[in-house]
Structure 1
Amino acid sequence: MIRKGYAEGGVGQVHLRENAAVPGTSLVCLHATAYSSRTFEPLLRALDGRVRAIAPDTPGYGESDAPPAPLDIAGYAGALLPALPTRFDLFGYHTGASIAVELAIAHPHRVGRLILMGVPHFAALDFAAWRKKLAAPHRLAETLDQFAERWRFLVTERPAGLSLRGGFENFVDELKAWPDGWRAHEALFAHDLAGRLPLVRQRATVLNVPGHLAEPSRLAAALIPDAEVVELPQLTGAVLDAHAPAIAALIRCREPAPC
């Protein structure tokens, strides 16, 4: 069972999803832009009864309140912190990985371990091209044509393992954030991830799945003082949807207790 609720954050209310409470440190799951905590529902179910997992909507996305002014990555981390448990581990995916890094650096007494996937180390790619693609500002218009590219990318050309309904729900997540959904991507490209990764003192695990961020994730892991890379070439397509049980098993096997 997944429960939904709200908690007070640093810039308004934060919407959260969580599975059943079990003893131990909570795992906080931070999503990619411009989606929501809904993308973690399969993982929350796969961990149910074994690991307490909490997935907040980043401010301005899903059902969380939008910040009154644009935030940087540290700002997103600070806005989420009041809504999180006293002590927690982190699972960060894409933008969520950068937010997780900032939380870990700023609050080492609260953050235990890090699990990162799809680390957005765009400095290892064509930075300018990816910034233009992901962080281009949107303008609200009166026609449906403005959404054509997003519909094609999220629904028509959705990855293997993602249902039509799942692609549509991703599209709805983007519509909820429109036209400001690009702002977290802009914060991402302004974030000095390469300079921040060496400051992480927690144990980190990078789950490396196929895709354009596979090599950047390896390079990012090399910058973290205490990190391991788990290569997962078999986890293709819509990873969080199609392979949630496998990811849950990897998370459990890196718990202090035996899996």
Structure 2
Amino acid sequence: MIRRRYVDGRYGQVHLRENQPDGQVPLVCLHATAYSSRSFSALLTALNGRRHAIALDTPGYGESDTPPAPVTIADHAAAIAEVLPPRCDLFGYHTGVSIAAEIAILVPERVGRLTFMGVPHFQALDFDHWRTRLTARHALGETLDQFEERWDFLVRGRPAGLSLRRGFENFVDELKGWPNGWWAHEALFAHDLPARLALVTQPVTILNPPGHLAEPSRQAAALMRDAQVIELPDLAGAALDVHAGALATLVTR
């Protein structure tokens, strides 16, 4: 069973999803922008009885309260570190990778192992193109057509195997951050991830399904002291939803 609760943080309340505690050091999961902890619901379910796991909503996303102004990745890391268990492992996906790396640097004595997927090493791609695309600003208007592009991308154009319901939930998560959903992406592109990865001392496993971040993820592994890449060529698409069982096995190992 997945339970939901809130804890107090520096920017207000932080929303968590959690499977059944089992006495182990918990695995804390950090989501991509502009989604929420709901991205990890299938994984938390697949891990139930095998590994205690917690997924939280980054401040400003999902059901967590929003900071009064845009904050940096380091600010996110510090805020999240304040609500973490005394010891934990971390699973970062996309923006969650950058935040997890910062937490590991900030409080190394509290973080064990790291699992990354979709490392946002955009320095290995067309950085300016991706920054322009992902940090586009929006103004809240009175007509529905302002949301049409996101509906087309998240619902009509959802990956193969992802249910209509999950595509809709991703759309709703993006709307919850509207019109400030770009804040965390702007922080992501202002964050010198390659330099910060070199400071991570914990062992890191990079789960590497196909996609535009597959090669950047391989290059990111070479920047770290103790990182291994597990190639997952058969886990294309919405891996956290469609292949949660396979990912749970890998995470447990």
**TM-score bucket of the superposed structures, by smaller chain:** over 0.9
Give the corresponding residue for 1:109: 109
Give the corresponding residue for 2:99: 99
Question: Matches of residues 179-258 of structure 1 in structure 2 within 5 Å?
Answer: 179-253=179-253
CA distance in 1, matches of 2:195, 2:137: 26
Structure 1, 135-144 or 125-134: larger mean CA deviation: 135-144
One-letter amino acid of the structure 1 residue matched with residue 36 of structure 2: S
CA distance in 1, matches of 2:240, 2:10: 28
Question: How many residues were matched structurally?
Answer: 253
CA distance in 2, matches of 1:13, 1:40: 19
1:157 is aligned to 2:153: no
The list of structure 1 runs, each at least 4 consecutive aligned residues, that deviate by more than 6 angstroms after superposition, is none
- The Cα of 1:10 is off from its aligned counterpart by 2.1
CA distance in 1, matches of 2:99, 2:4: 22
- The unaligned stretches of length 5 or more in structure 2 are none
Give the corresponding residue for 1:131: 131
CA distance in 2, matches of 1:191, 1:160: 32
Question: Do 2:78 and 2:106's aligned partners in 1 also have CA atoms closer than 8 Å?
Answer: no
- The unaligned stretches of length 5 or more in structure 1 are 254-259
CA distance in 1, matches of 2:138, 2:214: 28
Secondary structure, aligned partner of 1:170: helix
Give the corresponding residue for 2:141: 141
CA distance in 2, matches of 1:138, 1:9: 27
Give the corresponding residue for 2:66: 66
CA distance in 1, matches of 2:84, 2:55: 10
One-letter amino acid of the structure 1 residue matched with residue 31 of structure 2: H
One-letter amino acid of the structure 2 residue matched with residue 246 of structure 1: A
Structure 1, 26-35 or 79-88: larger mean CA deviation: 79-88
- The Cα of 1:244 is off from its aligned counterpart by 0.3
CA distance in 2, matches of 1:19, 1:95: 23
CA distance in 2, matches of 1:134, 1:79: 23
One-letter amino acid of the structure 2 residue matched with residue 113 of structure 1: R
- The Cα of 1:21 is off from its aligned counterpart by 0.4
Structure 1, 241-250 or 138-147: larger mean CA deviation: 138-147
Question: Do 1:27 and 1:51's aligned partners in 2 also have CA atoms closer than 8 Å?
Answer: yes
